[in-house]
Chain A
Amino acid sequence: MTADTKPLTYRVDLGAPLDLRGYESREGYAAVRKALREMQPSDVTHLVKEANLRGRGGAGFPTGVKWGLVPMGETAPRHKYLLCNADEMEPGTFKDRLLLEGAPHQLVEAMIVSAYAIQASHGYIFVRGEYVLAAERLERAIAEARIAGYLGANVLGSPWSFELFVHTGAGRYIPGEETALINSLEGRRANPRAKPPFPQIAGLWGKPTVVNNVETLCNVPHIVMRGAEWFHGLSQGKTKDSGTKLYGVSGRVKRPGLWELPFGVSAREILEEHAGGMKDRLKLKCWLPGGASTDFLMPEHLDLAMDFDTIANAGSRMGTGLLTVVDESRSIVSVMRNLEEFFARESCGWCTPCRDGLPWSVRILAALERGQGRSGDIETLEQLCRFLGPGKTFCAHAPGAVEPLQSAIKYFRHEFEAGITKPAARAAAQSAPQAIAAAQATA
């Protein structure tokens, strides 16, 4: 395994991550030296744009474009912030944990180089409270980097100063949303904020702020060292997207796991070659391409390239790129009930459609699961999919919650219909409890 093919993971060691000296002996902090000594901040941003690095947190927004919106120069605010979103909690996603626990110095270096590009004064790595080991290892890496002069006043003797801190969360899914993360970091309830203004203009404490995902940031030092052309080459011409991607599979497969692969490999390759296919002779029913808030895809979609545009064109989103596979033994209504229970519980309650709509969907799904749904329930779920969709709420929580639901109804409507009690059974239920059992037995 080398930097040329697996830049993100070739230095990952979960058992004993490289300390400062070990990391430096394997090209560690070379990108900090190169950026600070040979490049202007705008050169770094330009290079990242040229490399076509897109956000690995799920949305796929071009990183360089995001950075390009930050005010620069003499007139820019003195305090600017780079936040690393290490609040990994999208169900089915387990990629950032590997980078945090296995190569903490890589992220620290990535933060420094990226902060230099936007001339940030402070950085915070927002680590979810449950990632105890990750936070410990990052604290140690930051302390080592500070002693070595990579952090603090006048980084490597340059005029630029940068302080970096670990900030640990205290639970809940919603702080993973960009603006909710900013509120949480400010010590407030993690409700999202309205955009605009975008964080790049007015984010943390009203100052210019960039929020990037762990995996996104970890690509930056490699782009600085090897260039945009090299980064394009990593995806081997399979896709418009560049670089490698941490892809993974969970569910009832032979070898669930996580692999750094060229961007744009097919879902089939990930599922069959790397994860070994379904286990116990189970059959694949459907799959989520990248987390709980992505639309289901079907077995016939397996040959699609796992890149942002291809998966979007198939009616879903690549999201975090970690597949969750559902086997034929599962009722889609049960899986949806589990998913919507999650989204309902994790709604911050700020917007009415989300706060009230999601528990409503759970009640309907639970009734359908018990075979006690009513006629009109499916139409109500479809209506909820519209009322909770994009543009109806401050953030993407509710729109994300309805993505799997709308696709589950699209592909498996018959399973939802099967959960509706027949009118005869309902009439009987109102008069004689015994009759319903008989009616259901014959239904």
Chain B
Amino acid sequence: MNAEEPYVLHIDDRASIEHEIRHYDDPRAASIGALKIVQKRHGWVPDGAIPVIGHLLGISAADVEGVATFYSLIFRRPVGRHVIKVCDSVACFLTGYEEIRDAVCRVLDVGFGETTVDGRFTLLPICCLGACDRGPVLMIDDDTHFDVSPQDIARLLERYP
């Protein structure tokens, strides 16, 4: 996307955001929802979308940016086609998350916060995913994978072209 061109909100996204707004007494409450809607289209939230969302909700671009940068699942930089989120909290730490992390890093040749050169995967750490009895756990996009072992990693990643 060219930074010079004004961002045009897709007509479907505008409708979705307006639908979200109706759930609340104050349109601001739809800010996280709006960011998620835009992100669903592009994989991340482009700079130009920030003031457009602000305008739609009647709040400043700075407020929208403040929200966008606070929450870990809103991306303000381009990410890979698939985002891998590896749980690094204590239960998965005890059941071997570090080996999972190392295996992913080795297979993809990236570290946390990085994207593969082919733009396929971005790797991130994430808080406890609430499946500690089936750890180590990781998410790829919206899918949660349980009882992951380092040997499974390569085959698991193949399912996300």
Residues of A at under 8 Å CB distance from B? 79, 88-94, 96-97, 122, 128-132, 165, 167-173, 184-190, 205, 248-252, 256-258, 288, 292, 322, 324-327, 330, 335, 338-339, 341-342, 345-346, 348
Contacts and interface: CB of A to CB of B under 8 A. Distances in A.
A91 B90 contact: yes
Contact of A170 (B25, B71, B88, B94): B71
B114 to A, nearest CB: 17
A170 B32 contact: yes
Interface stretch (B8-16, B129-137, B150-158): B129-137
A324 B95 CA distance: 11
A324 B74 contact: no
Which 3 A-B residue pairings sit nearest by Cβ, starting from the closest? A171-B72, A250-B132, A171-B73
A184 B32 contact: yes
Given A170-B74, A190-B70, A250-B91, A94 B32 contact: no
A317 B95 CA distance: 24
A165 B23 contact: yes
Contacts of B90: 91-92, 288, 292, 324, 335, 338-339, 342
Contacts of B71: 129, 169-172, 190
B110 interface: no
Contacts of B125: 345
B28 to A, nearest CB: 4
Contact of B73 (A90, A129, A250, A324): A129
Contact of A130 (B24, B35, B93, B129): B129
A189 B129 contact: no
A191 to B, nearest CB: 9
B127 interface: yes
Contact of B88 (A165, A249, A342): A342
A187 B29 contact: yes
A330 B131 contact: no
B94 A250 contact: yes
B36 A130 contact: no
20 contacts: A94-B133, A97-B130, A97-B131, A129-B71, A130-B73, A130-B85, A167-B29, A169-B73, A170-B74, A172-B70, A173-B127, A186-B26, A187-B24, A187-B59, A189-B70, A248-B132, A248-B133, A256-B133, A335-B90, A348-B70
Nearest to A191: B70
B29 A186 contact: yes
Contacts of A188: 28, 31, 63, 66-67
Given A187-B59, A292-B90, A322-B132, 12 more contacts: A89-B128, A90-B128, A92-B89, A92-B132, A93-B130, A169-B71, A170-B72, A187-B29, A248-B133, A250-B132, A325-B94, A346-B127
Nearest to B70: A189
B28 A324 contact: no
Contact of A91 (B33, B85, B128): B128
Interface string B30-68: 111101100000000000000000000101000100110
B120 to A, nearest CB: 21
A187 B28 contact: yes
Interface of B: 23-26, 28-33, 35-36, 57, 59, 63, 66-67, 70-74, 85, 88-91, 93-95, 125-135, 139, 142, 144
B95 A252 contact: yes
Contacts of A346: 127
B72 A172 contact: yes
Contacts of A288: 90
A370 B31 CA distance: 43
Contacts of B85: 130
A190 B66 CA distance: 10
A129 B127 CA distance: 12
A169 B72 CA distance: 10
A93 B131 CA distance: 8
A251 B32 contact: no
B131 A94 contact: yes
Nearest to B85: A130
Given A187-B29, A330-B94, A94 B132 contact: yes
B67 A189 contact: yes
B89 A91 contact: yes
Nearest to B59: A187
B22 to A, nearest CB: 10
Given A89-B127, A250-B133, A170 B95 contact: no
Contacts of A330: 94
B68 to A, nearest CB: 9
A251 to B, nearest CB: 5
B41 to A, nearest CB: 16
B39 to A, nearest CB: 9
A89 B130 contact: yes
A279 to B, nearest CB: 11
A288 B93 CA distance: 14
Contacts of A324: 90-91, 94, 132
Nearest to A205: B25
